[in-house]
Structure 1
């Protein structure tokens, strides 16, 4: 059998990590981004601007087995989100249709921001999507674009991604960051390698004939109160002083479940923030 061919549109940090997990298994990986010189070795570059309706000159010929869309907005305002997640996705779907390509599945990388729950509720793929801001609302709109693309599609709602180059919380704790203990403010996280790992797992499962759902949540096993995470991190970093004032990073408070993804056979490299941040600290040493 010919090696599967996947095009990763918006092949930045997560897309590159995904590529590095697929290449050892013989997959042919196309990475679409503006600066293709930043792609990992052996990824076939497709130089393109997702915001441009014109079909990229380097768009791959022949069949594409899988399409992954994991763009990042250039601007973090409403217009930036719409351009990245709705308009860009529509352009990629259009280019695929115009090329006569019929991917077996489109995977759209979404966000847990589609859930606006604020009372620490447990959330899974069947929970109401009560987006409380433009980011979640636009993500929901983009999810529908993916699901109505004419291809089999799955959306993967990733939670707070951390990892190398994504150490904002750790830096805040070093600077004396504090958070309320009561009521608990729950946070949800996933290491960047596990986020890419979930995407890779779903692609490989589909290739092996596993029936996939149309939605999965990407989160680790520990949606703990943020105060617990901060306290653990203070001890690990040796932080002894912090602000008495409470600083809150986000308005929502929910606990996301990974039960559905794990039921298909996905396993985590970093089951909780402890293992993930320990790995980051060892890399810093």
Structure 2
């Protein structure tokens, strides 16, 4: 049997997803080699990432050939070139020599093209419409036809916390005042938290099934403006200004993200890999990033909205301030905002942040026999909580 020492992983491209994978691979006992384009930077990056780094600028070096030969697992996140060719496969005359029994190619859901909001599954025909999507299809095909034990992961819109030296989430853009909510009626997209990508990849390594494609997406496709508004509410700042998607001032690159809409099914990854996204909704993901950014690991956050029957709205609004005041008076309450939505009068937006599960539990128990409990008995709840077990928390 091969010794544990020989478990090596090759990361072709050390981008955001690869950085999130590094700690998982290390704790699974892998020695890691990553690549970077600039040979002058290999030593610096090796220090920063805590892995071996070799240069790869599209041409093969002895160091990279050796890394290929030795790797037990290989993950490529290098995007295709403008002509759709894959930089890694193009560098080899013949299929690369490797003992790897599991290889991943990280692709994107842009390969599906526009499905007018319909659900997409892995085995459907691909009909990309953007240059990005067309190039992804070509690169996927090259990997699938390479005779290597390839697994393709089609990733939805990636977001997550600060990892090593980069973050991908709306908070910074909102704080800078540069964010705009682009509105296109009916447009929804899926996202995927980088931690959930890492978890799915680790699950696949344990269950190799070459030439399989997996969609990696959250459970709840949503309009982009909902995500921005929710992030602004969490930060307790003004919601961003609204721009129509056909506004002439919108840059072409920004507009191109609105030419396609689809709902991405994650059923296959769940069934075959036993993977369950930890952040099934963008709200859970953003709340967890907020907790990390604010160094509040123990906090409980409840956020989202409730919708009341129209007949109950006036009674709820009459009692609302009292409920807010009583909640603010609870010793474990860090923040509690409840406000009527500007566009949907029967909707109340809510953000509650409590010091710990005990404080959240106290809040729930305090409300038991209150007038607030009575006036809100018919509300529909649509919110997420993090930091607490399956408590039927109500605002």
Task: Give the TM-score band, short-chain normalised.
Answer: 0.7 to 0.9
Q: Is 1:280 aligned to residue 289 of structure 2?
A: yes
Residue 32 of structure 1 and its aligned partner are, at CA, apart by 2.2
CA deviations 1:200-248 (Å, max 9, x no partner) are 2211222xxxx45510011111212223323323322334354343245
Distance, in Å, in 2 between the alignment partners of 1:25 and 1:244 is 46
Q: Do 1:107 and 1:155's aligned partners in 2 also have CA atoms closer than 8 Å?
A: yes
Residue 78 of structure 1 and its aligned partner are, at CA, apart by 2.4
Could you tell me the TM-score, scaled by structure 1's length?
Answer: 0.82
RMSD: 2.7
Could you tell me the TM-score, scaled by structure 2's length?
Answer: 0.61
Q: Do 1:216 and 1:261's aligned partners in 2 also have CA atoms closer than 8 Å?
A: yes
Structure number with higher relative contact order (C-alpha < 8 Å, ≥ 6 residues apart): 1
Residue 41 of structure 1 and its aligned partner are, at CA, apart by 5.7
Correspondence list, 1:259-274, <5 A: 259-264=267-272, 265-274=274-283
Question: Based on CA coordinates, which of the two structures has the bigger radius of gyration?
Answer: 2
Match of 2:265 in 1: 257
Residue 120 of structure 1 and its aligned partner are, at CA, apart by 0.7
Q: Is 1:24 aligned to residue 27 of structure 2?
A: yes
Aligned equivalent of 1:71, options 73, 78, 92? 78
Q: Is 1:43 aligned to residue 40 of structure 2?
A: no
Q: Do 1:106 and 1:146's aligned partners in 2 also have CA atoms closer than 8 Å?
A: no
CA deviations 1:26-58 (Å, max 9, x no partner) are 12322222433324665233x122412444467
Q: 1:54 to 1:95 in 2, by over 3 A?
A: farther
Distance, in Å, in 1 between the alignment partners of 2:199 and 2:93 is 27
CA deviations 1:123-170 (Å, max 9, x no partner) are 110222111111111111111111111212111111111112344534
Aligned equivalent of 2:143, options 131, 143, 146? 146
More off after superposition, 150-159 vs 2-11: 2-11
Unaligned runs of 5+ in 1: none
Corresponding residue pairs, total: 269
Correspondence list, 1:133-212, <5 A: 133-163=130-160, 164=162, 165-167=166-168, 169-173=170-174, 175=177, 177-180=180-183, 182=185, 184-206=186-208, 211=209
Distance, in Å, in 2 between the alignment partners of 1:96 and 1:30 is 20
CA deviations 1:165-221 (Å, max 9, x no partner) are 344534455536223363x21111111122222222211222xxxx45510011111
